[in-house]
A = this chain, B = another copy of it.
Amino acid sequence: MSTIEDVAKLAGLSRTTVSRVLNDHPYVSDEKKKLVQQAMEQLGFVPNSAARSLRNQKTGIIAVLIPKISTSFFSQLLDVLEMKASDKGYQLIICQTQYSKQKEKNYLNLLKTRQVDGVIMTSFENEWSVIDSYLQYGPIVLCNEYVEDAHIPMVYINQAKTGYMIAKHLLERGHTQMAYCSNGIVSEGMAARIHGFKSALSEVGLYLHEKLYFEKASTYEDGKNVFAQILKMQVKPTAIFTGSDLVAAGIISEARTADWRLPGDLAVVGYDNMEIAKLLEPMVTTVVLPVEEMATKAMDVMYEKIHNKHYRSLEKHEFLSKLALRESTIYRRNLVATS
């Protein structure tokens, strides 16, 4: 492994000059530059990054905290984050928190030990005050979360508008009796989503019936359960927001078994635009999340924070979901553009 010193010797110059060539500094004559480059070539020289990190006090690495990589949404997010980081010349260290407070803290320590220049959190487990204390060591950017009392850049989806949009769509399709599935997670986003949903209803004098609110559904099995419950009801909903494409799949599966027509007897709206949404029959109208936009913004903001060094700046970067209209809410013959 050759060092800058070796290159300097071979080129008959000083380490400084070599370093200057390496960093594209001005004030190096073309002649010497050539000499240095030849020497580098000949030795197969590559700068040692630990030495650079130590000297420059920055690593070129960003940590991404994620609860579970193999979750469809998070793997998409990570995918884009990696591309954007790569574009900016950064490496990404992946940190799976597995929804554990301790793991989350362990990974935040990467900031303390200066192993990374910044941390992007796509979820969080600890109290905000705990996380806040790490800000003295470097920038933290929230991507896909919103916290009222955090004074840092936050990139997130306006869930109130998401909820509103869903309800509005169903209202336009003529539904008046709707059901709503939550996923059991209690967060500001989830609260905002249902609030938005309800406000669209109340605008037209409707409301969400208590029995039609399912508190905790996140899996295919949960979806089947939800339908079983619906089947037993006196007054049945004509439309349901499922909170997840998996739940939608469960509901659809049972509904078909029970010979319900979809969307005739029940219109279904999913969430996440997972692969299955397009594969089911009927194809599922679902909420499409602005994954790419959020990841891009998060990385841009992180880059800026790393360089301007003012970590505690409150920035709200809000993005909107879209609705992919498909057969589960609109009869095929009325569907102009499916996507």
Contact = CB atoms under 8 A, between A and B. Distances in A.
Given A46-B109, A78-B69, A61 B281 contact: no
Interface in A43-57: 46-51, 53-54
Interface string A269-280: 000001110111
Contacts of A1: 114, 137
29 contacts: A1-B137, A46-B112, A46-B113, A48-B54, A48-B113, A49-B113, A50-B50, A50-B53, A50-B115, A53-B53, A68-B79, A69-B79, A70-B72, A70-B75, A70-B78, A75-B75, A83-B96, A83-B98, A86-B103, A91-B93, A91-B110, A94-B94, A220-B275, A220-B279, A246-B279, A249-B279, A253-B279, A253-B281, A274-B275
Interface of A: 1, 46-51, 53-54, 59, 61, 68-70, 72, 75-76, 78-79, 82-83, 86, 91-96, 98, 103, 109-110, 112-115, 137, 220, 246, 249, 253, 256, 274-276, 278-281
A256 B279 CA distance: 13
Contact of A92 (B93, B137, B246, B278): B93
How many copies of the chain does the oligomer comprise? 2
B70 A76 contact: yes
Nearest to A45: B112
B75 A91 contact: no
A76 B69 CA distance: 7
Ranked 3 nearest A-B pairs via Cβ = A50-B53, A75-B75, A70-B79
B93 A61 contact: yes
Given A50-B53, A220-B278, A220-B279, A96 B79 contact: yes
